[in-house]
Structure 1
Amino acid sequence: MSEQHNVHTLIPDSPFATFEVRVASAADAAALAPLLQQLDADEPAPDVALLALRLETPEPRRVVLVAEREGRLLGTCTLNLIEHLAHGFARSAVLEDMVVDSRARGQGIGQALIGRAAQRAREWGCYKLALSSHLDREAAHRFYTAMGFAAHGVSLALPLH
């Protein structure tokens, strides 16, 4: 790899460049794994083969979205459908694994991903789109608030291992 190429990969994409938001496929697994690792650098990278297998056989209650420009994945999120038994089977959606490549932030990629996720949630007949975010991710919280998300209840987790 030439030195010039290394310099080029460190330069952020132009904010005026276009990108596509689409459903992820098995072919995206190798590029998706390091992107997902940006969510928590202390976690091992996802297994590419397992990721490809899961993306190859999509589930009707889950959709993985990716933002792509010229073959490069810029961001991703996963949308999960939930039916609430106690509320007449009302539907909601939960947004998970939301990440925009650190070199591509501030270009509207996160907004586009959330916009497409909200559209899909509406198509599913959902009454709300929810997410949880780690307490120390203050910049992410400002972003989500600017996108129209509001605090709703308390998110609690029980570690199972």
Structure 2
Amino acid sequence: MPQADPASNLPDSPFASFSVRAACAADAPGLAKLLQQLGANDPCPDTPLLALRLAELPASREVLVAERQGHLLGTCTLNLIEHLAHDFARSAVLEDMVVDHQQRGLGIGQALIEKAAERARAWGCYKLALSTHQDRADAHQFYRAMGFQPHGISLALTLP
């Protein structure tokens, strides 16, 4: 009887490799699981709808995933905005940033943000912005460590 590879039982290491790439429709089940970690009160993502939307993303949106051996570790969505009041200057907004709670502290979030910033630069953006819930102190510390600084005030209007 073959024995299990002892390395497969070791805890994850900060030196473990992973890749960051654009998401595809086949990633929908794994993405749905990750997105559920954004908020306990958020609805469960509709996996078939997520797959459909990933298959037909507009050129102004990119969903990135970090993966290792087919397992999704984190994700974020990058949205391009052209500002009419500034001669169509471009910026990008980072949304839906989440790293699996068991994989945090391994550089996955950093790699996702670096790839998002690379894509924003390729789009000709002058800034990359994001918003985060006010009580997520750990996330705020992480974003500051990545170079993000407070910029204006974020307000939201909940629509029925």
TM-score by length of 1: 0.92
1:8-23 equivalent positions in 2, closer than 5 A: 12-23=11-22
- Identity within the alignment, %: 71
Unpaired runs of at least 5, structure 2 = 1-7
Unpaired runs of at least 5, structure 1 = 1-7
Aligned equivalent of 1:140:
139
Q: Deviations over 1:49-85 (max 9, x none)?
A: 0000000112100000000001110000000000000
Post-superposition offset of 1:13: 2.1
- One-letter amino acid of the counterpart of residue 129, structure 1: L
Aligned equivalent of 1:46:
45
Q: Deviations over 1:84-143 (max 9, x none)?
A: 000010000000000000000000000000000000000000000000000000000000
> What is the CA–CA distance in structure 2 between the aligned matches of 1:12 and 1:87, rounded to whole Å?
49
Aligned equivalent of 1:66:
65
Aligned equivalent of 1:89:
88
> What is the CA–CA distance in structure 2 between the aligned matches of 1:53 and 1:92, rounded to whole Å?
26
> What is the CA–CA distance in structure 2 between the aligned matches of 1:12 and 1:25, rounded to whole Å?
28
CA-atom RMSD, angstroms? Answer: 1.3
> What is the CA–CA distance in structure 2 between the aligned matches of 1:43 and 1:105, rounded to whole Å?
21
> What is the CA–CA distance in structure 1 between the aligned matches of 2:107 and 2:41, rounded to whole Å?
27
Q: Does 1:126 align with 2:125?
A: yes
TM-score by length of 2: 0.93
- Runs (4+) of structure 1 exceeding 3 A deviation are none
Give aligned pairs, total: 153
Post-superposition offset of 1:44: 2.1
Aligned equivalent of 2:25:
26
Q: Does 1:99 align with 2:98?
A: yes
